[in-house]
């Protein structure tokens, strides 16, 4: 869930923690430049209370909290509308209403993901993939479907992404990878057991790893060398369907592909054209 929204809901907070959460929500960006001592004074609490709240939210301390808060606040503010990402439509909605809500959800998700993307990290990832001897992609379930689409796009510009359609066999891809290879690992929560297992194997083998995830404090994030962060807006435990998370993943992979295509634009354009000509027997 988006941290800004989590603070607004104040679930499971003590009365003192609710006061701190209210102050943070009301003061928005000004919190980012505020030392913990100042926040404690302004909320008539203590640094201990603030650290306890940060830990309850899954962070080691106030500094780590502020890093995530800055991203999620920006993501929240970039939405044009506020469709519930976990339940974007209801039983009583008409087809027209559902069509509108899914369109708004798609627009909001793309805007939030774009705002979250770090351009320096994106450039670094693209360069690593261009220089890699082999590219591996690891994911399960819906995320694996996004990987297949990414592999298909890359194939059309003569770049090959190694995947395993038998997902339990992804471990073999990782076992045989070397330090000259780069692996993309995708898990929105950062807690998918199979993906974490593969990340451990890759780390032991000295393989460069790139995680696409919404959770910087997750086990996957801790194991990987580079993080591409997604907006943390969807609660995978209660989401009707993973619309928002999968839209975000697909968008990031499309951006990566497009940057790779652009790196050798004319050659890739020509290669794609001639491949289609041969396929169509023209």
The two tokens of residue 216 are: 């910087």
Q: What is the mean pLDDT of residues 274-281?
A: 78
Task: Look at residue 240 and tell me whether its pLDDT is greater than 70.
Answer: no
Torsion of CA 34, 38, 43, 46, to 10 degrees: 120
Please give the DSSP secondary-structure letter assigned to residue 185: E
Split at pLDDT 50, 70, 90, the class of 282 is low
Tens-digit pLDDT profile for residues 25-72: 889 888 889 999 999 999 999 999 999 999 888 888 999 888 888 877
Provide the pLDDT for residue 238: 56
Q: What is the mean pLDDT of residues 69-94?
A: 76
Phi and psi at 52, nearest 5°, equal -60, -40
Rounded mean pLDDT of the chain? 89
- Angle of CA points 101, 105, 107, to nearest 5°: 115
Structural domains of the chain sorted by starting position, each given as residue range(s) with its CATH number in brackets: 3-77 (1.10.10.10), 116-278 (3.40.50.10490)
């Amino acid at each position: 869930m988006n941290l800004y929204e989590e603070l607004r809901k104040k679930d499971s907070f003590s009365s003192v923690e609710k006061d701190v959460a209210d102050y943070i929500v009301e003061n928005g960006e000004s919190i980012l430049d505020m030392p913990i001592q100042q926040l404690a004074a302004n909320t008539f609490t203590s640094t201990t209370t603030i650290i306890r709240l940060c830990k309850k939210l899954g962070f080691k301390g106030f500094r780590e909290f502020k890093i995530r808060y800055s991203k999620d606040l920006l993501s929240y503010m970039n939405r044009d509308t506020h469709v519930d990402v976990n339940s974007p439509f209801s039983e009583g909605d008409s087809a027209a209403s559902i069509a509108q809500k899914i369109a708004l959800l798609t627009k909001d998700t793309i805007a939030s993901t774009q705002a979250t993307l770090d351009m320096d990290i994106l450039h670094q990832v693209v360069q690593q993939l261009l220089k890699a001897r082999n590219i591996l992609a690891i994911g399960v379930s819906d995320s694996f479907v996004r990987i297949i689409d990414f592999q298909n796009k890359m194939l059309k510009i003569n770049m090959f992404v190694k995947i395993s359609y038998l997902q339990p066999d992804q471990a073999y891809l990782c076992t045989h990878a070397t330090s000259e290879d780069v692996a993309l690992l995708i898990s929105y929560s950062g807690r998918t057991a199979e993906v974490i297992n593969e990340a451990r194997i890759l780390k032991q083998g000295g393989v460069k790893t790139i995680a696409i995830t919404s959770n910087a404090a997750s086990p996957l994030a801790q194991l990987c060398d580079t993080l591409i962060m997604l907006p943390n807006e969807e609660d995978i435990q209660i989401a009707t369907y993973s619309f928002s998370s999968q839209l975000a993943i697909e968008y990031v992979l499309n951006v990566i592909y497009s940057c790779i295509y652009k790196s050798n634009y004319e050659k890739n354009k020509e290669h794609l054209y001639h491949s289609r000509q041969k396929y169509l027997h023209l």
